[in-house]
Amino acid sequence: MKFEAKIRVQYYETDSMGIVHHSNYIRYFETARTEMMREAGLPYDAMEKAGVWMPVLSVNVEYKMPALYDEVISVFCRIEKLRGASLDVAYEVRGEDGRLCAVGSSSHGFTDPDLKPVRMKKEQPEMYEVFSRMASEE
């Protein structure tokens, strides 16, 4: 995967097992996804201001090896599939030593602030173009 977000694991993200609580990977995914969009020239903030939201339709994570306090994890991500009003993103989380911590994916709709679908290609051709370019990258 091309895009890589580096994230330092925080103390408040650990739990009694001494590892990152599993719910936080969903948040790491969000961070990586928004960084990828920023790099592509389409910060999520700007999308929301333009009236396009990207609510999460589904998410899944497979946990392989725990991420640990204070390590700088790498969250790789890429757009796996782009459709007219939705997209899928794939993720891979690796520890500082390169070990695979987790893999996962999320699906998102494109909607207006009332959560009604936005047909991107027609209604937001420029945004669609950016996603299209991202999706065609390896």
Annotated catalytic residue 70 = no
Number of H helices, E strands in the chain: 4, 5
Query: Would you give the binding string for a second copy spanning residues 41-80, x where CB under 8 A is met?
Result: --xxx--x----x-xxxxxxxxx--x--xx----------
**Closest CB to a second copy among residues 22, 133:** 22
**Closest CB to a second copy among residues 58, 136:** 58
Let me know the angle formed at the C-alpha of 114 by 112 and 119, rounded to the nearest 5 degrees.
30
Among 15, 112, 129, 137, binds a second copy (CB under 8 A): 15
Q: Compute, in degrees rounded to 10, the torsion defined by CA atoms 77, 79, 80, 86.
A: 130
Total of chain residues touching a second copy, rule CB under 8 A: 36
CA 97 to chain centre: 22
Among 1, 4, 34, 40, binds a second copy (CB under 8 A): 34
Between CA 89 and CA 100 the distance in angstroms is 18
Nearest Cα neighbor of 44 from 80, 74, 89 is 89
For residue 86, what are the β-bridge partners?
Answer: 109
Among 3, 14, 73, 93, binds a second copy (CB under 8 A): 14
Instruction: Record the tokens describing residue 137, joined without a space.
Output: 């990258």
> For binding to a second copy (CB under 8 A), which residues are involved?
8, 10-12, 14-18, 21-24, 26-27, 30-31, 34, 43-45, 48, 53, 55-63, 66, 69-70, 115
Active site amino acids: 15
